[in-house]
Amino acid sequence: IVSSQLFPAACFRNIHCTAACLKNRAARIRVGKGDKSVTYEQAYHPHHIGHRKGWLSQHTSNLQGEDGAAERVVEDVFIRRFMYGTFHGCLADEVVIKRRGNLLVICAVMIQKLLPSKFYFLIGYTEELLSHFYKCPVKIEMQTVEEKVVYKYL
Amino acid sequence: MAAYITHPALSSLSKINCNINAIYCFISFSRRISISSNVLSTSAVTTESEAAGRGVRGQRRSKRQAGEPRTERMTVDQDWTAVYPTAASFKPSTVPLPVRMGYPVKRGVPPAKKGNLELMKIPNFLHLTPVAIKKHCEALKQFCTEWPSALDSDEKCMKHFPIQVQSKEFVSAGLSLQNPDARIVTLKVKLSSLNLDDHARKKMIKLCEERYCKDTDTLTITTDSCPLRQQNYDYAMYLLTVLYHESWYIDWIVISF
């Protein structure tokens, strides 16, 4: 009876803990001496999305009344890591992912580092594996450039 | 260009199976390559075969020159539907327009189309030129029939087809094309088009409660209890039939409405 008198009546505070998000430093390349070359995608920070940059991934799940947004995000993350690893060192810029209904279109810009036959093999390998993972048709539309397209030097 | 690529793979395999003389051939080829690579070689097939062969042997690789983009060889009156037959992302080597996109650097211009990710991100309608749409329509015409000439006004349509059935189709981007909301069926009918006498009409309105709108004299039945659209449509028609027959039935046990 004594212990219940000590506690105040029904007044609780909760604490939510997350890992440090570092929202001020995400996806930003800091200004340096002037020798670092950056692409257009890297030069503009996340708050420029919608103003000076477009969206890297397009799907309808973020519209009103549509569901599946979380699943699409997880798929996107996996696809980006997969492309980064499969075409190691060849990616000139970020991978653009588009979804047209069931079809998953991956658009990538590559540096001409490998032979075209090797590129064709890796494209076929990626399309086959990803379509088996996600049970949907996967198409890769690839462009090649001689070297990375530099936007400016930071 | 794809046909040329398979040849060096086969030729290099055949060269591996050859005897020791082949190695001497490769050494002489490499010397020739170092001279010819300085000049833009037009014989892309031969340089490719030697490059692939030397790549297999693990020797010093020289960079193969990229060919000219397709835009150089495009005529003004070409068939654009052959370049972009379906929806595809923007390819700078196939679109002969000097498009620039992006925010310019200070005292500069927007970045050019080569390797421009911004142009690839946005959806384009290069596959939907008027010529392409005309071709689509011509191809679809053989599957279409004429609109019946007797139904040329709204009133005639309403007179002959008084029941309106509405259902929604959903298109979304995702792994599954099905949407559970596509099973909902809405049936609309005007009570004036049904054969009801005074008692039947009053009973029908009483049975429908809030599904009847007095201003437009429309009865709306929405069904979503079944999993398939066909089942929901059948259920809605069944409900309408039951309501009609029930409203004509005079139950003497009920004293007043």
Q: CA of A94, closest CA in chain B: separation in Å? A: 8
pLDDT in tens, B83-125: 999 999 999 999 999 999 999 999 999 999 998 999 999 999 9
Q: CA of B9, closest CA in chain A: separation in Å? A: 9
Superfamily of domain A37-153: K homology (KH) domain (3.30.300.20)
Q: Which of B61, B175, B178 should one mutate to test binding to chain A, selecting the residue with the greatest count of A CBs within 10 A? A: B175
Q: Residue B136 phi/psi, 5° resolution?
A: -60, -45
Q: Do B66 and A144 touch (CB under 8 A)?
A: yes
Q: CB-CB: which of A56, A99, A112 is closest to B173?
A: A99
Q: Do B105 and A152 touch (CB under 8 A)?
A: yes
Per-residue confidence at B59, pLDDT binned at 50, 70, 90?
very low
pLDDT in tens, B67-94: 888 888 889 888 999 999 999 999 999 9
Strand order in the sheet with B164-167: B164-167, B185-190, B218-223, B212-213
Is a pLDDT exceeding 70 seen at residue B8? no
Quick one: pLDDT at residue A7? 60
Half-sphere exposure of A108 (CA within 13 A, CB side): 25
> Which pTM value belongs to this model?
0.71
A-chain residues near B171 (CB < 8 A): 101
For A75, A82, A123, B99, the CA distances from A107, given in Å and listed in that order, are 15, 13, 11, 19
Is a pLDDT exceeding 60 seen at residue B17? no
Which positions ≥6 away from B102 have C-beta within 8 Å? Answer: A40, A52, A151, B110, B111, B116, B118
Quick one: pLDDT at residue B61? 58
Q: What is the DSSP string of B43-54?
A: -HHHHHHHHHHH
Per-residue confidence at B25, pLDDT binned at 50, 70, 90?
very low
Are the CB atoms for B179 and B172 separated by under 8 Å?
yes
Task: State what percent of residues in chain A have pLDDT above 70.
Answer: 94
Per-residue confidence at B237, pLDDT binned at 50, 70, 90?
very high
Lowest mean per-residue pLDDT among B59-68, B73-82, B199-208: B59-68
Lowest mean per-residue pLDDT among A114-123, B9-18, B193-202: B9-18
Break chain A into its structural domains and give their ranges: 37-153
Average pLDDT over residues B160-188: 89
Task: State what percent of residues in chain B have pLDDT above 90.
Answer: 44
Per-residue confidence at B48, pLDDT binned at 50, 70, 90?
very low
How far the first Cα of chain B sits from its last, in Å, is 84
Q: Do B171 and A101 touch (CB under 8 A)?
A: yes
Task: State what percent of residues in chain B have pLDDT above 70.
Answer: 74
Average pLDDT over residues B235-255: 87
pLDDT in tens, A13-55: 888 888 888 888 888 999 989 899 999 999 999 999 999 999 9
A-chain residues near B93 (CB < 8 A): 143
Q: Strand B218-223 to strand B185-190: parallel, antiparallel, or no bridges (unpaired)?
A: antiparallel
Which positions ≥6 away from A84 have C-beta within 8 Å? Answer: A91, A95
Is a pLDDT exceeding 80 seen at residue B60? no
Higher model confidence: residue B116 or residue B33?
B116
Q: Residue B195 phi/psi, 5° resolution?
A: -85, 90
Higher model confidence: residue B60 or residue B130?
B130
Is a pLDDT exceeding 90 seen at residue B185? yes
Q: Tell me the C-alpha distance between B236 and B230, whole Å.
A: 10
Q: Which of A94, A115, A118 should one mutate to test binding to chain B, selecting the residue with the greatest count of B CBs within 10 A? A: A115
B-chain residues near A105 (CB < 8 A): 89
Q: CB-CB: which of B6, B173, B175 is closest to A135?
A: B175
Q: What is the DSSP string of B140-196?
A: HHTT--PPPTT--SHHHHHHH---EEEE------SS----GGGG-EEEEEEGGGS--
- Give the containing element (helix H, strand E) for B205: helix B198-208
Q: Which of B113, B172, B177 should one mutate to test binding to chain A, selecting the residue with the greatest count of A CBs within 10 A? A: B172
Quick one: pLDDT at residue B4? 40
**Under-50 pLDDT residues of chain A:** 1-4
Lowest mean per-residue pLDDT among A53-57, B60-64, B133-137, B185-189: B60-64
Q: CB-CB: which of A56, A134, A141 is closest to B121?
A: A56
Q: CB-CB: which of A40, A53, A102 is closest to B177?
A: A102
Is a pLDDT exceeding 60 seen at residue B150? yes
Q: Tell me the C-alpha distance between B232 and B183, whole Å.
A: 7
